[in-house]
Amino acid sequence: MVDNLTTKQKSFNMSKIRSSKTKPELKIKKLLKVLGFVYQPKKIYGKPDFANKKKKIVIFIDGCFWHGCALHYKQPKSNYNYWKNKIEKNIIQDKRVNKKLESQGWRIIRIWEHKLK
């Protein structure tokens, strides 16, 4: 498949992809609020999507593309090396965040985007 977008057009398209207040996050926001979770809590390492500070539980909603889901991730054909490195770094960062939070006594829940559909 031929990529017929200019670099500027691709950049614009990518800038419109949100990293917060995504549809999967907003789907479970009301439910988790009832259970004592705060949406996008401040000052917690790794920027979890939800946290219950009393129970020391954090929840991350991981997008299938951005976090390299084994079931749904498809490597883009254009700019292959950039995307391969980007997704690999995201996966490494997820592991680093988990390790740090666990060392601070947090329980971590990671939910794949496809599980919420």
Annotate 31-80 with DSSP letters as a single string.
HHHHTTPEES-SS-TT--SEEETTTTEEEEEE-TTTTT-TTT----STTH
Residue 2 has pLDDT above 60, yes or no: no
Is 91 within the bounds of a domain?
yes
Reported pTM:
0.77
Among 108, 77, 90, smallest CA distance to 10 is for 77
- Count of structural domains within the chain: 1
Q: Is residue 52 part of a domain?
A: yes
Residue 40 domain flag:
yes
Task: Return the half-sphere exposure (C-beta side, CA atoms, 13 A cut-off) of residue 41.
Answer: 20
Domain assignment of residue 4, yes or no: no
Tens digits of residue pLDDT in 35-55? 999 999 999 999 999 999 999
CATH number of the domain bearing residue 41: 3.40.960.10
**∠21-101-111 over CA atoms, to 5°?**
45
Domain range for 26 is 20-116
Question: Residue 21's pLDDT is what?
Answer: 67
Asked, for residue 3, whether it belongs to a domain, the answer is no
In a domain, 13, yes or no: no
User: pLDDT per residue over 92-110, tens digit each?
Assistant: 999 999 999 999 999 999 9
